[in-house]
Structure formats: C-alpha cells, structure tokens
Homo-oligomer: A and B are copies of this chain.
C-alpha cells in the first residue's frame, strides 16, 4: 500500500471511535494535548530552529521567516487556541430538524462528524495545532499536509500531540513526505478523505481545485473592496478604508481596492491623503490620479490582485451600479463594504453583491469566526457550497437522518 494510502486508511479507521466519543472525553484529550505542548516548548523550538536555519540557507524572506518562527509566546498562543476550542459547545449530536410523518415515521436530523478532513497548508506551523484541535472537537480525523519549510516543526508538534492522545492518536496524521506527487495523491484519496481544505495563497488553492477529486472548500482569497458612495460620511469612509487596509494588510479580510463615487472623490482623496501621507501606495485610474498621487495607472490585472501589503487599487465610479458591477467582476466573494447614508443604495449593494459578507458602514476586517461569535475559525469560505464566510465548528460537520418506524413500508 502506498504511503499516503496508509495515512488515509489510518485516519479512516480512527474516525469511527472519535465519532462516537462525547464532549467530555474529547475535551480531556484536548487538555492533554495542550498540557503536552506546554511541557514540550523547548523541544518544539529546537525543531523549529532547524526549519529556520534551513530556510535562511534557502534565502527565505524576512516576512516568511517571521511566519515560520515559533517562540515561547507563540506556542502559548497555540495552547490558548486549544483552550478556546475546549470551551466551545460540542456540535456533534445536535438535533437540527425532524418531526413525525403522517405514516408515523419519526425523523431526527442530527449533526454528525464529516469523517476525515485533509488540510493542505503553507508555512505557518500553528495551523498544525489549530486545525487539529478544531477538527478533533468536530469529531473528524485529520490529515495534515504542511509545507516542506516547516516539516521539522510540524513533526515535533504532531508527535507531541499523538503521544498525548493515546487510543485517539491516529485521529491526526502528518504527511511527512512533502513532495508534490504525494500531495496530489492526497487530493484524489476519495476512498478515505471526505473533505479537503486548502489554507494558503491563491496558487495553492487553485492547484487544489484543479487536481482534487475530493470535495474542496475554498478559503481565504480576499480581493475585498470598499465603495465610498456619493452620500457617504467622508470621515467615516476614510476611517473604514484606513482600518480595512492598514490595520493588518496581510490578511484576507483586508481590502485591496477602493471605489469612490465621482461626486465625493475630491474630498475623499484629500482627506485620505492627509491620513496616509504616502504610507499606502495607490494604483488608480485616470480619475483617481487627478486627485491623489498614484504608483501607476491601474489596469485589470491590478484590479484583480490581492496585494496583502500597503498597496491598493482605486477607481472613481459614476454610480452604485458601476461599483457593484466592478466588484462582482473582480471580487473573490469574500467581504465587500459600502459606506453610505442612502438606505436605497445600502439595500441595493447588500442584495446585489455576490459575496460571503456584505457590509454597510463597517470595516471588512470583521469577517472572522471569532468576531462573528462562532468561537473559532478554520478558514473563511469564498465558495457557495456547504459553508460561506467564517467556518467554525458547525461548518465542520455534516448531518444524517435517523428514521424510526414500526414496520412502515412504501405503498
């Protein structure tokens, strides 16, 4: 049996035990994992050091090195993440529908685990722990395939978790062979894996969509916009644009583009320039360029780009309809915002924009499982199947129908 098939089979065989384990035992197990990670900080950091040295030799950028680096503080944050998951209600077993049919059949629609979830992710080793804790609480075994850059850190983390998990240890599998061939085989492991979640940049996501035969949930691509309507409060608009762009530019719910109504453009760009003082580079259309310094004149490629940096694209528009058309063309279906005083335009924008989260007068940065009160988040879905927007524990479950009768047959 091939390497990846063995991992798949192990996870598949481990899933039924976990599926019938109640919240109490799952929480105890998560507690054990958290304690074990706390007790093994040194070992984790030593393993991480190897990854960092290798990465330095390979010329990894400072920003990427920072994402890869584990410190005592970051490991404590992982442990806190597990504790947060422990505190959440167990979604499994919740009755979400049902009733009695005329023929006396009693139907209960009940939340059940998905089974085996594959997570394919890039450098950040904290995903190893976060994803495992969420999937475990949601009753599913997990196969983790992190990047080769973080393989030593991931091995250390997974070994520590598995040792703490006793009879549940096969509920977490790490793909230690980080070749592309093995990753591609994982994407086609329908026999053992029920769901695949890629976490990372657009390239990773599109590779998974292209290659996978397992159902995929697309997460985290965010070409998000703020549209500043004619009737906007300019202070509020500048404040929201500034927050949505600069509070944390590297995340998917940060904005990448602004659309400004022509009748408010002069005042808006004047005030925005006063706030940004060149801190954020703008790629704008000719009308933007008349009002503010631009890095270059924007083309469609710029409008389609997720910069994840102190840079955005800009366009002056003639109407809310033009803004909506532009967003539905270039957006990734993540988070979109209108700043307006017009009830009509607010409602039109929320109705016609095709995205997971559509804001009126608030920063797109709120699209987040914690902010939305889901308690946790495995990612933000930008597709319309299964789950859309922030995915918490409920979104990591399936359901089944239990039907009880006393001999009913169909006539």
Contact = CB atoms under 8 A, between A and B. Distances in A.
A252 interface: no
Interface stretch (A50-58, A266-274, A364-372): A364-372
A215 B404 contact: no
Contact of A363 (B350, B351, B409): B409
Nearest to A105: B362
Nearest to A411: B247
A16 B329 CA distance: 12
A319 interface: no
A398 interface: yes
Interface string A377-411: 00000011110110000000011111111111110
B190 A209 contact: yes
Interface in A1-31: 16, 19-20
20 contacts: A19-B352, A99-B373, A101-B373, A107-B372, A115-B384, A195-B385, A247-B410, A346-B404, A355-B400, A356-B400, A357-B401, A359-B403, A360-B405, A361-B408, A363-B408, A366-B410, A371-B410, A385-B386, A388-B399, A389-B400
Given A215-B215, A236-B406, A242-B409, 16 more contacts: A16-B354, A20-B351, A190-B209, A239-B407, A239-B409, A240-B407, A243-B409, A243-B410, A355-B400, A357-B401, A361-B406, A362-B403, A365-B409, A388-B400, A388-B401, A389-B400
